[in-house]
Structure 1
């Protein structure tokens, strides 16, 4: 493979993204964390955008003479081809993300039903990755799928961060927030998880179906009030009476549970940094835990890049500035006749970055989601170049107008600056790389 050079910034940035994704692929990270086959049977359960790839990795690595069965749910279109010579022992089904659908409901019902009859001799291997909150949907009593869809959509558009969203999701579910693990007792439960959340908090990843939950019904109510999200009166009353509490730390039903992080955002950033250094570039990792409004995070990154380009920074050019985490997009109100904007966190970051850079020479950037999907579109993210604003102006595009309606896709698509990868079969969340030349 021919490695890119500084003379081709787009190819160089895409190479760093590809390296980061490659580091997080399940087949490269699973073997070291697999337990030995148990005396009884092994049941595999799971949910997330990496679910299909994780299931295939387990099938490839599990002893052929040891029993193995189970069910995993992933996003539509995110099941990779099964590796050559690997036979199907774990069923993989698909459902909707980020707003749940009936297929996700059916999968969650089946997964919970599979836990019936487990014994202390059995092993449950849970494969959890980002996206599992939507894919593994089983509303609490008094809440319909339509209710969950509305609440999920409102949370996604509210600007709430992932911890807040998943606190609500846990308390409105019959399977999240440790409830799946509780249903598996007395079997041993080993969870292998790929982190897509700032801080790698395993109780937040996919709303922690196999992890004790320290948040409370009162916390969930506070978040619902803060963002103006309504739930049916009967469900609100149950929250107020703390009837929808999740299993807490110390719950005896979770005594035989353990969790292993098999891939994290920091590992992917470090892999990208090493790749940059191998090309003769300095590489600086800001953090893998960056949160906040995407456009505002873009402005902060622009300030850092500009100071490096002007030689006023401890970041010495030529260099790459890397960061990860999970930013948010607050969807702005729009007129009834105005079309809904298209795009996600990465694209919104890139618009904020481009606007703040103002055409700064010598700075290029790529921001993309490591699952290959930015929001609900068909792109992973976008690229910003020194002439982004000049080229957009020539087409009559104003970045401020597109920011006002959260329309990153509509801004970058005419420029040919969308990053399209297709599903990557993993997910360690936002990846951002800024090249200062």
Structure 2
């Protein structure tokens, strides 16, 4: 699988730019559904097997499941539907050249990060698909990041337009994804375990590709099949903390205790869930590849959060400090999901904003190269996965009159890196474990 790298990189010293891109490609391949699903199939139940799912990886997960099912248990029935982001439906060839198109599992597409009418239609159809199942039936839920927006069904009394407005306000506020999804769950008729509850008494098996820091399964895509650990009061507190005004209908919904199924609910006793891939796995694959090339690796963690530009600046200072007395190349890796507080009307996502903060902190320091991508191939709502830069880009930017501080002030990191031809554009990767950030620190020239 070769998403990022057009050619094999010779090494970090000879070709740091190509080497970093290949490293990211290795990381993404390690968390792709084609790598994860074939060896995990459950025994077919006595009754029906119904697949439901939502997220940026949902279509690829469905295709991998269907291929494996056809090979391993071809006579067992399989049906269902999943929803993914526009353009993320699986077509063409898989990793080994197999036809990736789903034939028994229907693939729908809807809007992300803002839900649309098709998001609501997908949610209603999924609830209908699991209604009236019995104890001998099995539901396989394929859940990945992005599912919250892609499968949206407002709670009674709340309109889709109100949910869209609240979602937009939370995204612009810089609220962490954990808080955003808490609000989404308590304004929903399908999230927070409600889809799982609707499927009972059938057994529900949930497979997840996690994009949330900390990898709490119930938080991925707002946990449509898993019991909740938060309350409507938590959602109200988040809205108040970020000064987001809501209608009386929304407040009535939350104050009216629209409580999701809670942990310990007896209806979930037969259910099971497993996280198939997470940020840690992508970082581990990158670390192993770097160490194979003789590079020392410093792993900062897979769950870093905070303001994107400030994390970039902090890691820039760290890289400069690490370079003092450095004799061998060093790779600094990190993952997680940062936030962007929107103050301007520019273009960009959290990865390019992180990189621009890092770029400003380094100011062209010799021997330091960096890459940051969203592993789903889409940084925010733009067409790029992220970007990368080299030390010489500082002089190029100054020559072209590109001031990183000015571009940060209006959240326009996309335009900055576009002007330097440093954007990484991959198209949808059809997986999603959040951000992959790599800083390659080479020893200074004597």
- Report the equivalent of 1:188: 203
TM-score, length basis structure 1: 0.95
Q: Is the aligned partner of 1:57 residue 2:64?
A: yes
Residue 371 of structure 1 and its aligned partner are, at CA, apart by 0.3
Residue 345 of structure 1 and its aligned partner are, at CA, apart by 0.6
Q: Secondary structure at the match of 2:284?
A: helix
Write the mapping of 1:251-266 to structure 2, written as runs, cut at 5 A: 251-266=265-280
Q: Secondary structure at the match of 1:94?
A: strand
Q: How far apart are the structure 2 equivalents of 1:7 and 1:85?
A: 37
- Report the equivalent of 1:391: 396
Q: How far apart are the structure 2 equivalents of 1:212 and 1:292?
A: 27
TM-score, length basis structure 2: 0.93
Tell me the C-alpha RMSD between the 2 structures.
1.3
Deviation per residue, 1:55-98 (Å, 9 max, x gap): 00110111211100000000000112255356611000100100
Answer yes or no: is the 8 Å Cα contact 1:158–1:227 preserved in 2.
yes
Residue 238 of structure 1 and its aligned partner are, at CA, apart by 2.8
Q: Which of 433, 437, 440 is the aligned partner of 1:432?
A: 437
Residue 398 of structure 1 and its aligned partner are, at CA, apart by 0.9
Write the mapping of 1:242-253 to structure 2, written as runs, cut at 5 A: 242=257, 244-253=258-267
- Report the equivalent of 2:213: 198
- Report the equivalent of 1:337: none
Count how many residue pairs are aligned between Structure 1 and Structure 2.
427
Answer yes or no: is the 8 Å Cα contact 1:33–1:192 preserved in 2.
no
Q: How far apart are the structure 1 equivalents of 2:264 and 2:123?
A: 25
- Report the equivalent of 2:170: 155
- Report the equivalent of 1:165: 180
Structure 2 unmatched ranges of 5 or more: 1-6
- Report the equivalent of 2:285: 271
Answer yes or no: is the 8 Å Cα contact 1:298–1:350 preserved in 2.
yes
Q: How far apart are the structure 2 equivalents of 1:126 and 1:431?
A: 26
Answer yes or no: is the 8 Å Cα contact 2:187–2:253 preserved in 1.
no
Q: Which of 20, 32, 38 is the aligned partner of 1:13?
A: 20
Structure 1 unmatched ranges of 5 or more: 335-339
Write the mapping of 1:92-107 to structure 2, written as runs, cut at 5 A: 92-107=107-122
Q: How far apart are the structure 1 equivalents of 2:367 and 2:402?
A: 22
Q: Which of 83, 98, 101 is the aligned partner of 1:73?
A: 83
Tell which deviates more after alignment, 84-93 or 286-295: 84-93
Q: Which of 228, 237, 240 is the aligned partner of 2:255?
A: 240
- Report the equivalent of 1:140: 155
Deviation per residue, 1:216-275 (Å, 9 max, x gap): 110000000011112220220231232x11110011222222111111110110100111
Q: Which of 291, 306, 314 is the aligned partner of 1:292?
A: 306
Q: How far apart are the structure 2 equivalents of 1:262 and 1:297?
A: 28
Q: Secondary structure at the match of 1:117?
A: coil
Q: Secondary structure at the match of 2:119?
A: helix
